[in-house]
Amino acid sequence: GYEIILLTDHKALTFLQSCQLLNDRLIRWAIKLQEYHLKIQYIPGKENIGADTLSRYPQSSEEKYNREDTMITINKILLTEYSEGLKAKLRHIKQLQQEDKKLKKLFHRVASSKNKFLTIINGILFFKPKPGHHQIMIPQSIIKQIIKETHEQYGHMGTFKIYQLIRTEYQFSNMYRTIKQFIKSCDICQKAKVNNQLSRGPMLSILPEGPLQIVSLDLMGPLPRGQGGLKYIVAFMDIFSKYIKLYPVKRATTEIIIKKLTLSYIPQVGKMKKILTDNGTQFTSNKWKDKLQKLNIKPVFTTTYHPEGNPVERANREIGRILRTYCYDKHTNWVKWLESTEYWINNTTHSTTGYTPNQILFGKTNNLIANKIIKFPDQYKETQEQIVQIVKANIYTKAEKRKIKADTGKKFPKYQPGHQILVKDHQLSNATDKMIHKFFMIYKGPYTIIQVHPNNTIEAKDQHDNKYVYNLKNVKRYHPPDPGEIEEQQ
């Protein structure tokens, strides 16, 4: 509770108390330091005499230090006690066994003849899995409570571990299956545990029929401030030809993107029929939608938190690779290399189409140095129409091969209207509130499915009837807890 004043000649440390933290590692440090009443003050190095002892060898290596004052007391929470209600029921287990119809029959069976696995001791029915081991036969009325409290008191562990715990003292019919059924429907476990099952749907590809039918648009940045204060890249890619245009901008606002679309891309490349973007505020604004409507361009959106749905994202990785190659020693130089990056991508053969983007869109071929020095005989050139048809066939063939490779042997989840689902919750760390994303629930919900779409998305509603669209990759089936007692397994 005491205030600690930290004097340091490392001026950069003082910013931890005032800046907006974006780096995960710094957020974790800030959260840790907030456990102490710490005030960081800067002093010049020549005045920081006391700290110099930390960087000097000790006078005697045999000197012992008392470290008791550095010990931290932690208040621990241990949850390994059953509730008083369950304890009371276990104290009356003899009576509860007699009231259970199935166990009552077993009592009569043991009383009338010897049984290798069952025995009655002090009026209580036990199961003997092997010599020297006894398990209490549990009546149906308290099975659910035993599973529930054991599961909750032992860290919400999985089926196998809870089964091993319970079977040390208890026995009931279909024990493993009953425990599995209960844990499967545990609300907390479903939201806190990673989904290890395949969550995506069958692979789908965007297959345009020709150039400029669908153009993908994305933003890269913020990047290190380059020449002229430029911080972002507005990236366009024609999905059919793979032709890209990269425009550096200072700010990634709707107004600036509209200018790049109307004054640069359309005059230089052409007008597209559809434009595919993510759900960024720049693209969901009325200003953006109104402009596209005036241009007779249909907006298409990827689902939330599914950037893979935008093909330009894959082009962004290649752009990033090239810029890393040439700007690794000075990151602010990315602006100088952007035009070359665009040229290299547009004038090299794409593995899917079999042609360069420039050939497909404009019929232009790129000549290397030999063609400029040595006179080549006339070369055969396909017409623009021929190239488009060949590219179309290549795109379909490649898409089919990718689908076979990705989907063969996969068992995809099946959803129907009315099913309940959980949705991935993308919460961020917050140093101010002492919150870290690793400790948030992974999923939120449940939501109820309204409609299942053929493009691997579903429309669902929350408890307030608000509607959302999600990609299958970000959802999993929710199993509601049984409000009643666990039914006896036959």
Q: Is the pLDDT of residue 173 over 90?
A: yes
Determine the pLDDT at residue 325: 93
pLDDT in tens, 399-441: 889 888 888 888 888 999 999 999 998 887 777 777 777 788 8
Q: Cβ distance 154 to 165 under 8 Å?
A: yes
Q: Is the pLDDT of residue 465 over 80?
A: yes
Q: Is the pLDDT of residue 129 over 80?
A: yes
Positive or negative, the CA dihedral 298, 303, 306, 309 is: negative
Ranges assigned E (strand) in 278-413: 298-301
Give the CATH number of domain 419-485. Answer: 2.30.30.140
pLDDT in tens, 329-363: 899 999 999 999 999 999 999 999 999 999 999 98
Q: Grade residue 7 by pLDDT with cuts at 50, 70 and 90.
A: confident
Determine the pLDDT at residue 402: 85
- Which of left, alpha, beta for 223 (phi over 0: left; psi -120 to 50: alpha)? beta
Give the strands of the sheet with 475-477, arranged side by side. 467-471, 457-461, 443-452, 420-424, 475-477
Determine the pLDDT at residue 79: 59
Count how many Cα atoms sit within 13 Å of the Cα of residue 265 in the half-sphere of its side chain: 25
Q: Is the pLDDT of residue 68 over 60?
A: no
100 Cβ neighbours under 8 A, 6+ residues apart: 139, 140, 141
Predicted model pTM? 0.66
Average pLDDT over residues 53-75: 57
More confident residue, 127 or 436: 127
Nearest Cα to Cα of residue 304 among 468, 476, 478, 477: 468
Looking at residue 377, the DSSP 8-state letter turns out to be P
CATH topology of domain 214-397: Nucleotidyltransferase; domain 5 (3.30.420)
CATH class of 84-185: mainly alpha
Average pLDDT over residues 314-319: 87
Q: Is the pLDDT of residue 395 over 80?
A: yes
More confident residue, 309 or 365: 365
Chain centre distance of CA 164: 32
> What is the Cα–Cα distance from 124 to 342, expressed in whole angstroms?
81
Residue ranges per domain, the chain?
4-56, 84-185, 214-397, 419-485
Determine the pLDDT at residue 393: 94
Q: Is the pLDDT of residue 127 over 90?
A: yes
Q: Is the pLDDT of residue 249 over 80?
A: yes
3-state SS assignment for residue 243: coil
3-state SS assignment for residue 487: coil
Q: Grade residue 1 by pLDDT with cuts at 50, 70 and 90.
A: low
Determine the pLDDT at residue 149: 94
